[in-house]
């Protein structure tokens, strides 16, 4: 019995505060800096302390035996050591290592500019995109203020580093968008179909992008839609060009938004002088539905469906007859996208998606009827395996069913292509300061009857707390434009090879990036055609083949300062581009009209509390572009004068009927620069007709009201 | 007989160890609450945050240590003069504790208030970029807190406080804040909190109300 009592006493004593051990010490970084506020914990007990301003700590504990002492604080790596508690005071000298935070972590930045609200390294937030002066809430127009892009003058699209508009592809939650713009009209570009308010983030890649994205020679524009709407609310907008409404209903784990816009530009065009001879100014009707469902914390289902209908009619210059061509154009587009993602556990993530789109464009050129239809059905599946804290392996597969039809009066031609793709890549952190991405993509197109295999790699190395150098190399393939595939079954993939070198300095207030690039083109589509083809018409080409080539090289610079001006924020982007290419019906390698040698953008935003307004100003400069002059034996050697534009937006925040409201005024080309986009010649070259912007100066007034949400939302 | 005695002794030991553990928890929480009451600077709140984090690390089933770890980290950031990135990281840390409390005590009005408070403060670090998405998010959390417990004075306090610091043009302002804070003050009069449940904010409410006039 006595034996037991001793044992019991012994057991109890181990829980009682008889044997106290004093643990003290100091915590420093490896270069001797003391750190205050470090939390020191004896694991599985409450015992511990915080370091004082001299990095010292002390506590006593009743525990005995071997224990782990854990120490952690923000900005440093959690660490622990084993200590033996036996009543003798312990004096420790501990080293704590700096942790890698999101902002100072090494990331692959070559070719990539992220925008969005969640990422700290983001260059522009979604509100920046919506309020960039002169962009009138058009994503693509706002992106034209970023380095690497050229001003799109009269052609639809985003022109990146000497690439044509077709070389930039848009991805909506990872799914390829077949026709992100409405119809191309004669010498007039149209807006992109998607509202910037749909998206929480945009990644704009001007080269060297991941193997996840295929079918893009020059650039990938990745749009990521918002998650669940926070609240039930209703919004109305009234603009000089039309009106819109949207209602959002928030449920427990899901939200549903139904909205639509009606734009009719004729009232505005009748007041503000137009350079275009409109018969019926553009009318746009768009309706969309968004459904977001978050069944569990880690998963998300997103459904988006949009229908848009555009009608326009105008008289376009016809230099050949010294008269006009009457152009009537109807464009109907359906776009539906469904994506789902889930983290199976901490290590595995799945993403799946399906999308379908079709476009029916029809109209008349004088007495001739034309049709242009296209469709794309896509399925996609991606599996990601996370390795350790930051590294990952990713693999996925895609299938596309893609086709188009072109009709001219009674005749028509069409093609259908089934394209399968598989990709895999790894993002591996070789150390805290070095990350490497290595991957590849394989595609097979039934219509081209061929395979391609595209290796992609990037490497980023940290050079300081806020700076890093990164580089990228990759091969990119794209099917020739629908227009060419419709006319030839003999074509193969077009190819580009990218080399990028990038330096970035990033703090929360300042961003500086400079990037040098070299891009080599091969197998671009060539054909025979008299004159300089216009992209809006239905043209017949002959002898199509993959004989073209070219190059683009240059330097892009970006500087953004959010900290020096209270309430203000500005950025400057500059691009130098040297490019020549032999494609289409070019007789030699020449600089295409869509490439400018120098492009400069300065964007400045200032919130002025006194008038409760945000003022946004944007200046754009673009050096002269080449244009086709049939009288000049040197092909594309004439240049327009430089382009200048100064735009302003004023957003006045107020309340109307007790609801949050924004009054919006936007003016573009305030000084009235006489810009010329290029010249049209008749085939005999006798006279030239300048191509002017659709209007010398544009004005837009608007009012946005949000009901049911008393706070700033849009 | 011997066996019976032994059983009784063992039983007593088991209970005393258990009682000791729960006493230890109560004592530690009492100490923590006293530390919060006496804390007024960022450094003091950081030290109390560390204290609650230590309790939270061992008491993985209790939501209150997690809640107060979040609460103290939040105040360490609000009162501090750290650079934006450190502040941001502190708010993230505070939120991670609030989320742990939420997991242990789902659909709790107090936890939702804390999350709404942290969200609004995190917004303020980079307000130009975040106002558009994070103010509605903070408001949604507070509305949810009010839906669960319409008598929670802290839900009104934080709502009123967020309104107070939101410019009038963005749907805030003193006049609007005053109405909400007055409701908060009324609710504080009737609040009943038991044990270590959150009971903070009455003084803050009065201080803000005075600034509204």
Q: Is B87 on the interface with A (CB under 8 A)?
A: no
Q: Which pLDDT value is given to residue B79?
A: 93
By C-alpha distance, the chain A residue nearest B55 is A46
* CA-wise closest residue to A550 among A520, A577, A576: A520
Residue A104 is assigned to a structural domain of this protein: no
Residue A90 is assigned to a structural domain of this protein: yes
Q: Which pLDDT value is given to residue A706?
A: 78
How confident is the model over B147-155, as a mean pLDDT? Answer: 94
> Chain A neighbours among B 94-123 (CB < 8 Å)?
none
Long-range contacts of A100-105 (CB under 8 A, 24+ apart): A100/A432, A101/A75, A101/B85, A101/B89, A103/A506, A103/A507, A103/A508, A103/B85, A104/A462, A104/A465, A104/A466, A105/A390
By C-alpha distance, the chain B residue nearest A118 is B130
Q: How confident is the model at residue A416 (pLDDT cuts 50, 70, 90)?
A: very high
* Packing angle of the helix pair B2-38, A2-15 (nearest 10 deg): 10
- Tens of pLDDT, residue by residue over B28-37, are 999 999 999 9
Q: Which pLDDT value is given to residue A601?
A: 95
How confident is the model over B90-119, as a mean pLDDT? Answer: 95
Q: Is A490 on the interface with B (CB under 8 A)?
A: no
> Is A1 close to B89, i.e. CB distance below 8 A?
no
> Is B50 close to A713, i.e. CB distance below 8 A?
no
- Tens of pLDDT, residue by residue over A288-347, are 999 999 999 889 999 999 999 999 999 988 877 767 889 999 999 999 999 999 998 889
Q: Is B81 on the interface with A (CB under 8 A)?
A: no
Cβ-Cβ contacts under 8 Å for A654 (sequence gap 6 or more): A612, A661, A662, A663, B169
Q: Sort out which chain A residues have CB atoms less than 8 A from B167's CB and list them.
A: 609, 612
Residue A509 is assigned to a structural domain of this protein: yes
> Same structural domain for residues A24 and A157?
no
Q: Sort out which chain A residues have CB atoms less than 8 A from B129's CB and list them.
A: 117, 122, 125, 127-128
Overall residue count recorded for chain A in this entry: 714
Higher pLDDT, A273 or B102: B102
Lowest average pLDDT, out of A187-196, B41-50, B124-133, goes to B124-133
Q: Is A566 on the interface with B (CB under 8 A)?
A: no
Q: Which pLDDT value is given to residue A709?
A: 60
pLDDT of residue A123 exceeding 90, the answer is no
Q: Which pLDDT value is given to residue A555?
A: 97
Could you count the other beta carbons within 10 Å of the beta carbon of residue B120? 24
Residue A446 is assigned to a structural domain of this protein: yes
> Is B171 close to A711, i.e. CB distance below 8 A?
yes
Q: How confident is the model at residue B14 (pLDDT cuts 50, 70, 90)?
A: low
When CB atoms are compared, the residue of A4, A74, A653 closest to B90 is: A74
Q: Sort out which chain A residues have CB atoms less than 8 A from B107's CB and list them.
A: none
> Same structural domain for residues A178 and A44?
no
> Chain B neighbours among A 42-61 (CB < 8 Å)?
43-50, 53
Q: Sort out which chain A residues have CB atoms less than 8 A from B55's CB and list them.
A: 46
Lowest average pLDDT, out of A312-321, A423-432, B157-166, goes to A312-321
By C-alpha distance, the chain B residue nearest A563 is B126
Chain B nearest C-alpha distance from A531 (Å)? 49
Q: Which pLDDT value is given to residue A656?
A: 75
3-state secondary structure of B144: helix
> Same structural domain for residues A396 and A544?
yes
> Same structural domain for residues A546 and A655?
yes
CATH assignment of the domain containing A78:
2.60.40.10
Could you tell me the sign of the dihedral formed by the alpha carbons of A223, A229, A230, A232, in that order? positive
Q: Which pLDDT value is given to residue A75?
A: 83
Q: Which pLDDT value is given to residue A713?
A: 40
- β-pair type (A613-622, A643-656): antiparallel
- Tens of pLDDT, residue by residue over A182-240, are 888 888 888 888 888 888 878 889 999 999 999 999 999 988 898 888 888 898 989 88
- β-pair type (A90-95, A21-28): parallel
> Is B13 close to A1, i.e. CB distance below 8 A?
no
Q: Provide the CB-side half-sphere exposure for A397 (13 A, CA).
A: 3
> Same structural domain for residues A70 and A116?
no
pLDDT of residue A635 exceeding 90, the answer is yes
By C-alpha distance, the chain B residue nearest A42 is B54
> Same structural domain for residues A276 and A366?
yes
For A55, the domain range is 2-95
Chain B nearest C-alpha distance from A226 (Å)? 10
> Same structural domain for residues A567 and A462?
yes
Q: Provide the CB-side half-sphere exposure for A628 (13 A, CA).
A: 17
Higher pLDDT, A713 or A391: A391
> Is A654 close to B169, i.e. CB distance below 8 A?
yes
Lowest average pLDDT, out of A135-139, A486-490, A633-637, goes to A135-139
The answer to whether the CB of A360 falls within 8 A of the CB of A373 is yes
Q: Provide the CB-side half-sphere exposure for A457 (13 A, CA).
A: 4
Q: Which pLDDT value is given to residue B188?
A: 93
**Radius of gyration, alpha carbons of chain A:** 30
Identify the DSSP state of B135: H
Q: Sort out which chain A residues have CB atoms less than 8 A from B116's CB and list them.
A: none
The answer to whether the CB of A122 falls within 8 A of the CB of A116 is yes
> Same structural domain for residues A696 and A660?
yes
Q: Is B93 on the interface with A (CB under 8 A)?
A: yes
Q: Sort out which chain B residues have CB atoms less than 8 A from A660's CB and list them.
A: 170-171
How confident is the model over A267-282, as a mean pLDDT? Answer: 88
Q: How confident is the model at residue A714 (pLDDT cuts 50, 70, 90)?
A: very low
Q: What percent of chain B has pLDDT over 70?
A: 90
> Same structural domain for residues A575 and A604?
yes
Residue A70 is assigned to a structural domain of this protein: yes
| DSSP state letters, B71-90 | HHHHHHHHH----HHHHHHH
The answer to whether the CB of A342 falls within 8 A of the CB of A328 is no
Could you tell me the sign of the dihedral formed by the alpha carbons of B14, B19, B25, B31, in that order? negative
> Is B136 close to A126, i.e. CB distance below 8 A?
no
Q: Is A371 on the interface with B (CB under 8 A)?
A: no
Tokens of B101: 């409390």
User: Which residues partner with A659 through β-bridges?
Assistant: A656
The answer to whether the CB of A426 falls within 8 A of the CB of A443 is no
> Is A41 close to B57, i.e. CB distance below 8 A?
yes
- Domain count of the fold of chain A: 2
pLDDT of residue A604 exceeding 60, the answer is yes
> Chain A neighbours among B 138-177 (CB < 8 Å)?
139-140, 143, 166-172
Overall residue count recorded for chain B in this entry: 213
Q: Which pLDDT value is given to residue A431?
A: 86
Please provide the average confidence, as pLDDT, over all residues in chain B: 88
Q: How confident is the model at residue A119 (pLDDT cuts 50, 70, 90)?
A: low
> Same structural domain for residues A144 and A246?
yes
Q: What percent of chain A has pLDDT over 70?
A: 93
Please state the φ and ψ torsions of residue B134, each to the nearest 5 degrees: -90, -25
Chain A nearest C-alpha distance from B53 (Å)? 8
Q: Is A710 on the interface with B (CB under 8 A)?
A: yes
When CB atoms are compared, the residue of B58, B84, B137 closest to A45 is: B58
When CB atoms are compared, the residue of A1, A48, A53 closest to B2 is: A1
How confident is the model over B80-106, as a mean pLDDT? Answer: 91
Exposure string of A113-144, with b = 16+ CB inside 10 Å and e = fewer, is: bbbbbebbbbbbbbbbbbbbbbbbbbbbbbbb
> Same structural domain for residues A48 and A171?
no
Tokens of A378: 């896509």
- Tens of pLDDT, residue by residue over A536-592, are 778 899 999 999 999 999 999 999 988 888 888 899 999 999 999 999 999 999 999
Chain A and chain B share a number of CB contacts under 8 A equal to 116
- Tens of pLDDT, residue by residue over A1-42, are 555 655 554 455 455 445 689 999 999 988 888 888 899 999
* Packing angle of the helix pair B127-148, B109-125 (nearest 10 deg): 170
> Chain B neighbours among A 622-661 (CB < 8 Å)?
653-655, 660
Chain A nearest C-alpha distance from B36 (Å)? 15
Residue A714 is assigned to a structural domain of this protein: no
Q: Is B28 on the interface with A (CB under 8 A)?
A: yes
pLDDT of residue B117 exceeding 60, the answer is yes
Q: Which pLDDT value is given to residue B177?
A: 92
> Is B171 close to A39, i.e. CB distance below 8 A?
no
Please state the φ and ψ torsions of residue A99, each to the nearest 5 degrees: -90, 165
Of A67, A95, A123, the one marking the end of a domain is A95
Q: Which pLDDT value is given to residue B86?
A: 85
Q: Which pLDDT value is given to residue A116?
A: 54
CATH assignment of the domain containing A553:
2.40.170.20
> Same structural domain for residues A309 and A356?
yes
> Is B85 close to A101, i.e. CB distance below 8 A?
yes
Of A48, A68, A95, the one marking the end of a domain is A95
Of A43, A64, A95, the one marking the end of a domain is A95
Q: Sort out which chain B residues have CB atoms less than 8 A from A43's CB and list them.
A: 57
The answer to whether the complex's ipTM is over 0.85 is no
| DSSP state letters, A463-499 | -SSSEEEEEEEEEEEEPPPHHHHTT-S----EEEEEE
Q: Which pLDDT value is given to residue A711?
A: 47
Judged by phi (left if over 0) then psi (alpha if -120 to 50, else beta), residue A503 lies in beta
Q: Which pLDDT value is given to residue A13?
A: 47
3-state secondary structure of B152: coil
Residue A102 is assigned to a structural domain of this protein: no
Q: Which pLDDT value is given to residue A661?
A: 81
Q: Is B89 on the interface with A (CB under 8 A)?
A: yes
> Is B16 close to A230, i.e. CB distance below 8 A?
no
> Is B90 close to A250, i.e. CB distance below 8 A?
no
Residue A412 is assigned to a structural domain of this protein: yes
């Amino acid at each position: 019995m006595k034996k037991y009592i001793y044992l019991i006493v012994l057991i109890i004593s181990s829980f009682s505060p008889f044997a106290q051990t004093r643990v003290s010490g100091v915590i420093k970084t490896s270069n001797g800096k003391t750190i205050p506020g470090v939390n020191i914990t004896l694991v599985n007990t409450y015992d511990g302390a915080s370091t004082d301003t001299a990095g010292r700590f002390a506590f006593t504990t009743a525990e005995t035996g071997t224990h782990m002492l854990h120490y952690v604080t923000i900005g440093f790596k959690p660490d622990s050591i084993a200590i033996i508690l036996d009543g003798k005071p312990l004096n420790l000298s501990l080293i704590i290592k700096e942790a890698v935070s999101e902002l100072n972590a090494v990331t692959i930045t070559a070719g990539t500019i992220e925008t969005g609200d969640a990422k700290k390294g983001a260059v522009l937030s979604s509100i920046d995109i919506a309020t960039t002066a002169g962009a009138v809430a058009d994503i693509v127009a706002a992106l034209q203020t970023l380095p690497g892009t050229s001003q799109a003058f009269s052609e639809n699209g985003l022109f990146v580093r000497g690439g044509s508009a077709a070389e930039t592809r848009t991805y909506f939650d990872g799914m390829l968008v077949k026709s992100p713009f409405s119809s191309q009209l004669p010498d007039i570009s149209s807006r992109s179909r998607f509202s910037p308010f749909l998206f929480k983030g945009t990644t704009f890649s001007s080269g060297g992008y991941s193997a996840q994205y295929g079918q893009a020679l020059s650039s990938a524009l990745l749009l990521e839609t918002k998650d669940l709407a926070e609240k039930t609310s209703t919004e109305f907008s009234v603009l000089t060009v039309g009106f819109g409404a949207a209602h959002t209903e928030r449920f427990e784990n899901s939200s549903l938004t139904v909205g639509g816009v009606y734009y009719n530009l004729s009232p505005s065009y009748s007041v503000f002088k137009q350079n275009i001879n409109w018969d019926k100014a553009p009318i746009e009707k768009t309706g969309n539905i968004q459904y977001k469902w978050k069944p569990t914390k880690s998963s998300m289902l997103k459904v988006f469906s949009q229908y848009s209908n555009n009608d326009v009619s105008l008289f376009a210059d016809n230099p050949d007859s010294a008269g006009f061509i009457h152009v009537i154009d109807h464009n109907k587009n359906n776009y539906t996208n469904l994506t789902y993602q889930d983290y199976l556990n901490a290590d595995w993530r799945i993403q799946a998606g399906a999308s379908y789109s079709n476009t029916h464009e029809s109209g008349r050129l004088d007495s001739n009827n034309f049709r242009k239809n296209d469709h794309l059905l896509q399925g996609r599946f991606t599996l990601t395996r996370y390795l350790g804290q930051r590294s990952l392996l990713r693999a996925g597969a895609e299938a596309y069913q893609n086709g188009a039809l072109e009709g001219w009066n009674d005749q028509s031609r069409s093609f259908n292509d089934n394209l399968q793709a598989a990709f895999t890549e790894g993002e591996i952190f070789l150390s805290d300061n070095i990350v490497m991405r290595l991957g590849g993509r394989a595609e097979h197109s039934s219509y081209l009857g061929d395979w391609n295999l595209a290796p992609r790699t990037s490497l980023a190395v940290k050079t300081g707390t806020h700076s890093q150098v990164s580089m990228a190399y990759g091969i990119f393939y794209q099917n020739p434009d629908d227009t060419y595939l419709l006319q030839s079954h003999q074509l193969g993939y077009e190819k580009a090879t990218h080399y990028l070198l990038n330096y970035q300095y990033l703090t929360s207030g300042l961003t500086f990036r400079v990037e040098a690039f070299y891009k080599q083109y091969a197998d671009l589509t060539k054909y025979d055609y008299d004159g300089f083809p216009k992209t809006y018409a239905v043209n017949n080409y002959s002898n199509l083949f993959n004989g073209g080539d070219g190059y683009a090289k240059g330097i892009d610079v970006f500087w953004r300062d959010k900290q020096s001006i209270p309430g203000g924020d500005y950025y400057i982007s500059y691009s130098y581009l040297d490019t020549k290419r032999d494609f289409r019906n070019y007789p030699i390698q020449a600089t295409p009209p869509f490439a400018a040698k120098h492009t400069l953008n300065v964007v400045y935003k200032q919130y002025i509390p006194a008038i409760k307004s945000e003022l946004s100003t944007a200046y754009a400069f673009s050096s002269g572009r080449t244009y086709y002059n049939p009288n000049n034996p040197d092909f594309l050697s004439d240049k327009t004068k430089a382009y200048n534009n100064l735009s302003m937006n004023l957003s006045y925040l107020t309340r109307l009927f007790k609801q949050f409201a924004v009054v919006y005024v936007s003016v573009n080309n305030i000084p009235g620069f006489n810009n010329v986009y290029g010249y049209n010649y008749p085939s005999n070259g006798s006279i030239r007709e300048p191509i002017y912007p659709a209007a010398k100066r544009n004005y837009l007034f608007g009012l946005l009201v949000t009901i049911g949400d008393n706070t700033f939302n849009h | 007989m011997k066996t019976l005695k032994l059983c009784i002794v063992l039983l007593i030991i088991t209970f005393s160890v258990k009682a000791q553990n729960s006493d230890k928890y109560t004592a530690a929480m009492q100490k923590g609450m006293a530390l919060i009451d006496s804390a007024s600077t960022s450094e003091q709140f950081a030290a109390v945050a560390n204290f609650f984090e230590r309790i939270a690390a061992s008491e993985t089933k209790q939501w209150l240590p997690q809640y107060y770890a979040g609460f103290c980290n939040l105040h360490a950031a609000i009162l501090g003069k750290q650079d934006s990135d450190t502040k941001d990281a502190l708010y993230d840390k505070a939120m991670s504790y609030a989320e742990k409390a939420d997991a242990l005590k789902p659909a709790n009005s107090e936890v939702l208030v804390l999350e709404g408070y942290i969200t609004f403060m995190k917004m303020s670090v980079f307000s130009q970029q975040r106002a558009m998405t994070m103010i509605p998010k903070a408001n949604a959390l507070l509305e949810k807190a009010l839906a669960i417990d319409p008598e929670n004075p802290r839900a009104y306090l934080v709502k009123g406080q967020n309104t107070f610091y939101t410019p009038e043009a963005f749907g805030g302002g003193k006049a609007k804040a005053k109405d909400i804070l007055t409701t908060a003050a009324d609710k504080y009069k009737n609040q009943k909190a038991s044990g270590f449940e959150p009971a903070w904010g009455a003084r803050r409410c009065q201080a803000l109300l005075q600034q509204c006039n």
